[in-house]
Amino acid sequence: MDELDILKKDWKQQEASLPKLSYNEIYKMLWKKSSSIVKWIFIISILELLFWGVLNILLSDGEFWKRMEIIHLKEFTVGVYVLSYAVTFYFIYRFYQNYKKISSTDDAATLMKNILTTRKTVKYYVGFIIISTALTSLVYAYFTIFHHAATTEVTDPAKYSFSITQWLVLTSAIIFGLAIFLGALWLFYRLLYGILLNRLNKNYKDLKNLEE
Amino acid sequence: MDKELEHQFITNLEKHQNIAHKICRIYTNDQDSHNDLFQEITIQLWKAYPKFRGEAKFSTWMYRVALNTAITLYRKKKRSIKTQDFDTVHFKIKSEEYNGEVEENLKLMYAAIKELNDIEKALVFLYLEEKNYREISETLGITEVNARVKMNRVKTKLKSIINP
């Protein structure tokens, strides 16, 4: 007899030592809370999708719009808002569509693929947020600097004009600060999802390696 | 109606609970984790049960959902692993039935299975449960050819442990 046949035979005998749960014990389990990865992904994704929307609303008070008017960016800001809400709703819709597809009764490969696709939707959304934040921040910085005269009383213009070097330093400082902030944000996401999806990514790769 | 569904489900699961327990033995190393995983499998089965229309056998359907839970859905809780649990809780080999060498080999193979990755564990499990390649490929979502290739690799891996 082959070693694996012996193993197979012994495997059957192992059944005798398996736990036996009663009807009532199983019944109690039905009402316990699931701690599945899909649940966590759902909660975190919803928080992310809502976070930026809520942040936008909180930051845009009357003061904010007055300031936008001063630096001639009111129309621009309205456009940015409309666009970003449209994009957010589009992503929420896509997320929901993909999320609905996740089913534990699919085969293992399909299930993993659907979870990863759902996750990717939110990843692209975060990518969009980071890139659009970078672009709009630059526009705001540019307009704020060029209209700074509108917010300050200038008596001696020469005192307020910058030399070329000063401009360079200021611009690089802004870009540098922005890059650090957005980079940190990106890193945070990578870490969060690295922890959450590490095992899933590995298993999907192991399974898909078979197809090569 | 819901009561009826609930009763039907629990009766089915009670009858086929061995499938889930065996998966727990392969994928966990101590009794607490075993119970956690069993619990999650039960929840996932129950959540999916309304969609189970009885076209397939309950057991066939259960293999799929339970393995999906072990491989993909279940989030391991962090806990300190008590090493002594390993032998006492899992795979009791009846020494009186085997001669010393065979017993030793079985121990080595069970220990080796624990070291495999999640996908290889699923393959070994389905092999030990005498599933054919068509069923294995359908459960995992890979082609039959690949299931065969990978299975042979895992078998060779296990054999080489006892015949280095």
Asked whether residue A197 is domain-assigned, the answer is yes
A43-52, A177-186, B59-68, B110-119: range with lowest mean pLDDT: A43-52
**Which range in B50-64, B84-98, B131-145 is most confidently predicted, on average pLDDT?**
B131-145
Alpha carbon distance A123, A101 (integer Å): 18
For Cα atoms A6, A9, A12, give the angle at the middle one, nearest 5 degrees.
150
As for how many domains chain A has, the answer is 1
Q: Side chain identity at A23, as an amino acid letter?
A: Y
Task: Kindly report, residue by residue over A89-102, the tens digit of the pLDDT.
Answer: 899 899 999 999 99
B9 or A137, higher pLDDT: B9
- Chain A partners within 8 Å of B68 (Cβ): 104-106, 108, 111
Distance of CA A203 to the CA centre of its chain: 22
Interface predicted TM-score of the whole assembly (ipTM), two decimals: 0.86
Asked whether residue A20 is domain-assigned, the answer is no
B64 interfaces chain A, CB cutoff of 8 Å: yes
- List the 109-138 stretch of A: residues with Cβ below 8 A of B: 109-112, 115
Q: Give start and end residues of each alpha helix (H) in chain A.
A: 3-14, 23-29, 37-59, 62-70, 74-101, 108-146, 148-151, 157-160, 164-209
**Residue A35 CB contacts under 8 Å (≥ 6 apart), including other chains:** B40, B74, B75, B77
Q: Architecture of domain B91-164 in CATH? A: Orthogonal Bundle (1.10)
For residue A29, the distance in angstroms to the closest alpha carbon of chain B comes to 6
pLDDT at site A149: 61
**Considering chain A, what is the average pLDDT of its residues?**
84
Cβ distance of A26 and B142 shorter than 8 Å: no
Give the gyration radius of chain A's Cα atoms.
Answer: 27
Residue B106 burial by Cβ neighbours in a 10 Å radius (0-12, 13-18, 19+):
buried
Asked whether residue A139 is domain-assigned, the answer is yes
Asked whether residue A94 is domain-assigned, the answer is yes
Asked whether residue A110 is domain-assigned, the answer is yes
A52 or B95, higher pLDDT: A52
Ranges for all domains in chain B classified under CATH 1.10.10: 91-164
Q: Which of the listed CATH numbers 3.90.1150.10, 3.90.1530.10, 1.20.210.10, 1.10.1740.10 matches domain B1-83?
A: 1.10.1740.10
For residue B1, the distance in angstroms to the closest alpha carbon of chain A comes to 16
Secondary structure (DSSP) of B10-41: HHHHHHHHHHHHHHHHHH-SSHHHHHHHHHHH
Has residue A211 got a pLDDT over 80? no
Cβ distance of A105 and B52 shorter than 8 Å: yes
Averaged pLDDT, A171-186: 88
Tokens coding A183: 């980079």
A1-5, B63-67, B83-87: range with lowest mean pLDDT: B83-87
Tokens coding A139: 């526009």
CB A15 within 8 A of CB B129: no
Q: What angle separates helix B133-140 from helix A108-146, to the nearest 10 degrees?
A: 20
Cβ distance of B72 and A32 shorter than 8 Å: no
Q: Side chain identity at B161, as an amino acid letter?
A: I
pLDDT at site B63: 95
Ranges for all domains in chain B classified under CATH 1.10.1740.10: 1-83
- Chain B partners within 8 Å of A199 (Cβ): 118
For residue A184, what are the domain limits? 36-151+162-204
Instruction: Give percent of chain A with pLDDT exceeding 70.
Output: 91
3-state DSSP of A24-73: HHHHHHCCCCCCCHHHHHHHHHHHHHHHHHHHHHHHCCHHHHHHHHHCCC
For residue B82, the distance in angstroms to the closest alpha carbon of chain A comes to 20
Asked whether residue A25 is domain-assigned, the answer is no
- Tell me the whole-structure pTM to 2 decimals: 0.83
Q: Closest-CA residue in chain A for B53?
A: A105
